[in-house]
Chain A
């Protein structure tokens, strides 16, 4: 833990900053100073105002009231003050190479031979943050995996880019990274702060916050409700400050394995599942879990005979890519999976559609005034709830979930865990790929993937973090 005491002039100072969107007070009088050497862990639910705060600091938004200053540099704008942002949603240009993407955020990189300099700069930054990354700066970004893209984005954030990175804002940077790479990032953050840089770190993974932050700032309803050195927080007190009680599921004891119904799934890859079972797919990110799920899903569904016959539904994790229909309302997004069931002679039954959407809005707690609003008016967590509603509203006995909790706040997660449990009790089967170990530990049966194959099958009391990690890494030390 780097705890260089906060001294000197702050890099950025917010004084009573407010931001209103119409009647909504997204940020309601926030004062915060970030000093060199500090690593601030920013926590709170989705909708607590974290994103708005970040956007005020990085200049994406201007405050409705109050001030944002950069006293240490005296620069008028965030960009000149050395404030960098790495966003949760991947924001590289996929058609450009890694080096060219650096050029987008480094406008001074001009003149003859800028490509050579861009390559050198990004490679140096990648080497510093992620030793042994193996990423070629000449490769176009769309040929990289999600994790590699995130690594490039982080490296661009820490790259000097003509001046020097003074404050780097990391919004859920580890959500698509596996544990080993995430550890490299945390190590780099410590080093960066020790060298006089500052980091604003947003994460839903409490372990990382405790691991790396020197100060934890808790936000709730557009206000800062607590801001204390990390040492003064415990996990329980932090969760309490955020306004949520740790769910009992989180510490699920190794109970005896309940009886399940008949096997209803037996895939070529070796995945098996019984009726009413929650099956987890674990392992390091990018070891074939998502592919196994997609393959399973496509084997069991048909492009020709959709609708009434399909026995499997899919909950997407990459919402933007294969989840939401961005032009449609919340209602239409939720009911698209059940249209054939509620159609009468091919005509959609609007009354039934509205009724079902209202029912699911209440059951799963979608936070919106009106379900006819556009889906994009919802926060990420609530968009994910709509996707769950879409899947659960259908009658399909098997629900396939591809890392659905990516970038979802703790409150939403608890709601969804409860929903999954109750649906499983009714006899539904869930196949759940997750990058978060505590989620996998809630499953009834876990398949650990390594190198595109199942390396272990765990049940009941065997499902522990240690066992999963062991199965994820087992051979890696041996053949090295």
Chain B
């Protein structure tokens, strides 16, 4: 049993989500419906995309403290430029992805600590967002709005989207050759370089992927909220980091799991709803969310330690 959980790191995130889901349904049986599940999880879709973005950075042994500000900026661009002048909007979003790739180059080329660079960039993104939308407003482009409120038969949109994100990123990062090499950069960059790979370009690619998923997160968020605000997604920075770790990822060593990251994001989103169902005062909710996180991480640590001892 210990061994099973230690070898298949994905089991624990799945179990945590299942337990939390069961508890939620027990507290509030009416949530067990097409509509209820969609309500529980639809805000998890942008969080899941942001978590995947964070995972791309953690995969190459860095960390992104600017992600929340970046997603907020994307949301502002989406609700203004992308709605009013779509061509310019697309160009700006493409430019933001390129900027992320540039950050990766900068960090690798000059051996800067990612934590410092991204912390600094968070103020840049935040400032840009404020200058675009000084007060909350803007309008979601209709096509994004209709995409985020689509009602597929049988399974709600949020679930379909989560499965889709997990499947695509799993294929990209775990199954493809380039994804394997990217994880290799996190595991042992020196040996990847020695095998003839351009590590600088690989890092730029990882950062560009993070930028791409960050942009998708911002767009999805605006699709749900219909308007934007410069501070709309600031808490995504920590949520995304927590989601990656909750999903079985490690801060260093290139150990990441895309499916786990998506599950981690769902768990975090669900934890918030669950705590509201408990009628817990909002003042306590953040603390309780932290407690859930610590609980799951402790369980994982116990499993890995035991497994190591047993050998």
Contact = CB atoms under 8 A, between A and B. Distances in A.
B255 interface: yes
Interface in A101-125: 101, 103-105, 107, 109-110, 114-115
Contact of A104 (B175, B181, B253, B255): B181
Contacts of A110: 177
Contacts of A115: 175
B198 to A, nearest CB: 11
Given A103-B180, A104-B180, A104-B181, A93 B194 contact: no
Contacts of A371: none
Query: Is the interface on chain B under 10, 10 to 19, 20 to 34, or 35 or more residues?
Result: 10 to 19
Main secondary structure of the interface of B (DSSP, over half): helix
Contacts of A87: 194
B191 interface: yes
Contacts of B152: none
B193 to A, nearest CB: 9
B183 A105 contact: no
A357 interface: no
A60 B194 CA distance: 7
B34 interface: no
Contacts of B181: 103-104
A197 to B, nearest CB: 20
B190 interface: yes
A95 to B, nearest CB: 4
A95 B195 contact: no
Contact of A100 (B184, B194, B195, B196): B184
Interface string B128-149: 0000000000000000000000
B210 to A, nearest CB: 18
A93 B177 contact: no
Contacts of B187: 92-96
A114 B192 CA distance: 18
B177 A91 contact: no
Contacts of A95: 183-184, 186-187, 253-255
Contacts of A60: 194
Interface in A201-233: none
A79 B186 CA distance: 23
Given A94-B253, A95-B253, A109-B177, A104 B184 contact: yes
Interface string A59-88: 010000000000000000001000001010
Given A96-B183, A96-B184, A110-B177, A91 B254 contact: no
B188 A94 contact: yes
A183 B211 CA distance: 51
A100 B191 CA distance: 13
Nearest to B252: A95
Given A95-B183, A104-B195, A110-B177, 14 more contacts: A92-B191, A93-B188, A93-B191, A93-B254, A94-B188, A95-B184, A96-B187, A100-B183, A103-B177, A103-B180, A104-B181, A104-B191, A104-B192, A104-B197
Nearest to B174: A100
A100 B180 contact: yes
Contact of B192 (A79, A93, A94, A142): A93
Nearest to A156: B195
Contacts of B177: 103, 109-110, 114
Q: Nearest 10 pairs between A and B by C-beta?
A: A93-B187, A91-B191, A95-B187, A105-B195, A93-B184, A95-B254, A93-B188, A95-B255, A104-B184, A100-B180
Contacts of A114: 177
A109 B196 CA distance: 14
Contacts of B180: 96, 100, 103-104
Contacts, number: 57
A30 B293 CA distance: 60
Contacts of A94: 187-188, 253
Nearest to A142: B253
Interface string B145-189: 000000000000000000000000000000101001101101110
B188 A92 contact: yes
A100 B195 CA distance: 13
B206 to A, nearest CB: 14
A91 B197 contact: no
B183 A79 contact: no
Contacts of A104: 180-181, 184, 191-192, 195, 197
Interface string A142-155: 10000000000000
A48 to B, nearest CB: 22
Contacts of B254: 93, 95-96
Contacts of A100: 180, 183-184
A318 to B, nearest CB: 15
A79 B197 CA distance: 12
A70 B239 CA distance: 54
A91 B194 contact: yes
A100 B141 CA distance: 42
A91 B190 contact: yes
Interface string A228-260: 000000000000000000000000000000000
Contacts of B196: 79, 107
20 contacts: A79-B196, A92-B187, A92-B188, A93-B183, A93-B187, A93-B192, A95-B183, A95-B184, A95-B254, A95-B255, A96-B180, A96-B184, A96-B254, A100-B183, A101-B184, A104-B180, A104-B191, A107-B197, A110-B177, A115-B175
B192 to A, nearest CB: 6
Contacts of B186: 93, 95
A172 B74 CA distance: 53
Most buried by A among B186, B196, B197: B196
Nearest to B256: A95
Contacts of B195: 104-105, 107
B77 to A, nearest CB: 35
Most buried by A among B180, B184, B196, B254: B180
Most buried by B among A85, A87, A101, A110: A101
A106 to B, nearest CB: 8
Contacts of A109: 177
A104 B190 CA distance: 11
A405 B99 CA distance: 48
A286 to B, nearest CB: 11
Contacts of B253: 94-95, 142
Nearest to B250: A95
A92 B187 CA distance: 8
B239 to A, nearest CB: 24
B202 to A, nearest CB: 11
B190 to A, nearest CB: 7
A138 to B, nearest CB: 11
Most buried by B among A60, A91, A93: A93
A289 to B, nearest CB: 15
B53 to A, nearest CB: 20
A91 B192 CA distance: 9
Nearest to A59: B196
Nearest to A109: B177
A100 B192 CA distance: 12
